[in-house]
Amino acid sequence: MRALSPGFLTSLLKIVLDVAIVVLWGLLVLASLVTLSMMAVGLFRVLGMGPELPEAFLRFLQLDIVIALPLGVAAIIAMLFIAGRLRAILVTLIQGDPFVPENADHLRAIALAIAVYQIIRYGAHGMIALMFTLFGRPVESGVSIQPEFGLNIGAWIAVIALLVLSEVFREGTRLRDEQKLTI
């Protein structure tokens, strides 16, 4: 079996990331437009102004998924940020010098983006449960809010691993720069 060329997988990953970034931008635009239109409709209904909306559109606005759509927008933004940083790392790999200090910063930024998204997700789930309970759509038994804390262990392990790798990159680039200065 013939082996693949050394840069084939890297180039393939870059192409996949480029396509993913375009798709994510499209999803972000779509989700943002839907979210903004829902907010405008809600504002118009509260203020009692604007045209009468079709019944099918009003039923759509009552779906549970619509409440979670802003969290979806946050997830898409986080994925776009991460994909952009991964693409920057792949570009340095394609250029033949992945051990640059910027890549340590990229890895740290990816770790922090995952951590921030997880924290936003926890807060959003609590707010959704609170809204359901306060507005007559009980989460559990309608009596009280039962917070359900689902810790995503895989995401937090990824955060720790990326932070460790960023420090390995940082130290590796420092040692390489130091070695270049020695005779």
In a domain, 151, yes or no: yes
pLDDT at 108: 96
Confidence grade of residue 146 (pLDDT, cut at 50, 70, 90): very low
Cβ neighbours, 10 Å, residue 17: 19
In a domain, 21, yes or no: yes
Residue 148, domain extent: 8-181
Asked whether the beta carbons of 86 and 17 are under 8 A apart, the reply is yes
In a domain, 3, yes or no: no
pLDDT at 81: 96
Confidence grade of residue 136 (pLDDT, cut at 50, 70, 90): low
In a domain, 160, yes or no: yes
In a domain, 1, yes or no: no
Domain count of the fold of the chain: 1
pLDDT tens across 53-76, in order?
777 766 666 665 666 788 888 889
In a domain, 2, yes or no: no
